[in-house]
Structure 1
Amino acid sequence: MNTATALGRPGRTALGKGLSALIAPPKYAHVNDDYFMCPVAKVRPDPQQPRQSFDDASLEELVASIKEKGILQPIVVRKDGADGYLVVAGERRLRASRKAGLTDVPVLVKDVASDEAFELALIENIQREDLNPIEEANAYQRLIDSSSYTQEVLARRLGKQRSTIANALRLLKLDADHQQLLIDRTITAGHARCLLAIDDATQRELLATRIAVEDLSVRDCEKVVREAKHQDAPPAELLPPRQKPASAVQLYCDQLAAELQEVLGAKVEIKARGRKGKLTVDFSSLDDLRAIHQRLIGSPGPRPAPPE
């Protein structure tokens, strides 16, 4: 693969405002000032990089873009052994390049230590808003631990308010299940701060369930916590989840389920969980399943025989 294919039109420079716009040049020395084409097999993700999750749909969009236009920004790497490289910034581009079938990718080598590489990757991801709240909080904590930064020093280095760093670190006090809700983006950092305002673990779990099932806004949660504290009553006892009428979202889902049940001739259940949910269609035999399948695709056509 030639350079023109990987980087788009020949002669085009499309590096954008990435790391070079964030990090002062004297801080990190370049091994070379220009990118070069490197076999994709020699570049691997840094296992310590702050971003751990990648959205499949977004990645597929990038794959399509790379197939059509090539990679418009080199992957920033550092040396790893004799002829290998670790990604400093651009793991998503590397993943998409592999899925797009590229054999070579443009890389820009930087001479940085492991901790400096982590800081670069964190800044790049923060700039692009690629990290979920827990990834961001873990990255802040690692920088504090490895570099002996105070929250104030870290905030200054990252161009953040100290309160932003402090609020992010508080999220690590959530238990694993509630952290996972943040990772899955079922709840927001604002919801999580409401959960942290509740000391009782059982009541915290009940409120977390309400947030997910009833799609409560952050303002709704703040009101529940505020009124509970004002009345000196546990938040979940103030408005028990099972005593509250079904949300508008769930009522809408129930209506859709009834319509689908009529069309499919089978029991249908839709459970809303915030902006996500689960659709369940029951069948009692393979013949029932075949009938549901035919109704869904709208054409009876030939079908493979069910297993005996």
Structure 2
Amino acid sequence: MAKQSKLSELEDNLFDQLSFFEVEQKQAPEQPQPKSVPAYQKGRLYRLEVAELLPDPSQPRKTMDQESLAELTASISRLGLLEPVLFRQSEYGQLFVVAGSRRLEAARRGGLKHIPGLLADGDAAEIALVENLVRQDLTCIEESEALDRLKSLHCYTLAELAGIIGKSVPTISEIISLTRLPAAIRDECRSDHKIARSILVEIAKLPSAIEMQAMYDRYRKEGLTRSSIRNKEGVKKERKSFVRLFRSFSSKITAIDLSAMTDKERKKIKNELESLKRSIDESLDKLN
């Protein structure tokens, strides 16, 4: 039995030294090679792949008119893209379209694989906003939100924004005031090129979101004009001023020191207060 065990041990040692099979070697997984990021230069025209171009998150345009987009797509399909887009490159090499988002979308729909592009120089948000404003493509809500975002991003004053955009300070102030509107109104108007900014400016002057929504609903239902909206707001302000006047007048009357007056003065004051009381009673009767 011991002899058989010793023979088995010798056989195992022999197979360990002279194996007929190759030992399978485990190979280390290949490490991904870092992708080289091309360096783009200002002033050079590039042939860019449509599939690699991404919409810029800071792009002020949030909606596109489908009818005009279809017309642009047909034109680009027939003639190609004649005007280059402006793009920026992220630190990871991604290409974002700063100006020309409609052209990019039309090229994509038209089946183009490559389009011309120029590297944007300067602040991407400013370039996109100015480019859209010059083309008058933005709705008043898109313009308002883009200006407000630009103001917050760079801590611009209204005067600085006015210089960048080429509009007066009061106009810039009016445009940004639209961000006060409730989200429901802004969402509905964001793609509406027909609604006048002046109408929304008057609605945005109302003191609360509830009043703004109510006035906007009336505008949609009754077709209110800017002057009618403004007059309704003016009447409301006038009524508030009356309340302040009455309170002020009442406090002044109660503050009168009658003890320091002569009998003649007290008689005059009494007559005036009685006359005022009659007028107040008449007004109270009308309010009942």
Give the TM-score taking structure 1 as reference length. 0.59
The one of 199, 205, 228 aligned to 1:197: 205
Higher mean C-alpha displacement, 96-105 vs 189-198: 189-198
Q: C-alpha deviations, 1:17-73, integer Å up to 9, x for none?
A: xxxxxxxxxxxxx81434232211121111221211111111111101111222121
Alignment pair present for 1:99 and 2:106: no
- Please name the residue that 2:47 is paired with: 37
Q: Confirm or deny: 8 A CA contact 1:133 1:183 kept in the other structure.
A: yes
Going from structure 1 to structure 2, the CA distance change for 1:78 and 1:197 (only over 3 Å counts) comes to closer
- Please name the residue that 1:188 is paired with: 196
Letter in 2 for 1:131: L
Going from structure 1 to structure 2, the CA distance change for 1:171 and 1:82 (only over 3 Å counts) comes to closer
Alignment root-mean-square deviation, CA:
2.3
* Percentage of identical aligned residues: 33
- Please name the residue that 1:73 is paired with: 83
Partner Cα separation in structure 2 for residue 143 and residue 176 of structure 1: 19
Partner Cα separation in structure 2 for residue 205 and residue 79 of structure 1: 41
The number of equivalent residue pairs is: 201
- Please name the residue that 2:5 is paired with: none
The structure whose residues are more often strand, as a share, is: 1
- Please name the residue that 2:170 is paired with: 163
- The structure whose Rg is larger is 2
The one of 46, 57, 61 aligned to 2:56: 46
- Please name the residue that 1:277 is paired with: none
Q: C-alpha deviations, 1:116-167, integer Å up to 9, x for none?
A: 0111111101111122222212222222222121111111122111111111
Letter in 1 for 2:221: V
Q: C-alpha deviations, 1:49-105, integer Å up to 9, x for none?
A: 121111111111110111122212101112235664211110110000000000111
Q: Confirm or deny: 8 A CA contact 1:143 1:149 kept in the other structure.
A: yes
What are structure 2's unaligned runs of at least 5 residues? Answer: 1-39, 242-288
The one of 197, 212, 215 aligned to 1:207: 215
Give the TM-score taking structure 2 as reference length. 0.63
Which secondary structure state, in structure 1, belongs to the residue aligned with residue 60 of structure 2? coil
Q: Confirm or deny: 8 A CA contact 1:194 1:221 kept in the other structure.
A: yes
Going from structure 1 to structure 2, the CA distance change for 1:163 and 1:100 (only over 3 Å counts) comes to same
Which secondary structure state, in structure 2, belongs to the residue aligned with residue 102 of structure 1? coil
Partner Cα separation in structure 2 for residue 201 and residue 46 of structure 1: 31
Partner Cα separation in structure 2 for residue 209 and residue 96 of structure 1: 35
Letter in 2 for 1:204: M
What are structure 1's unaligned runs of at least 5 residues? Answer: 1-29, 234-308
Task: Write out aligned runs for 1:15-164 (5 A).
Answer: 31-80=41-90, 84-112=94-122, 116-164=123-171
The structure whose residues are more often helix, as a share, is: 2
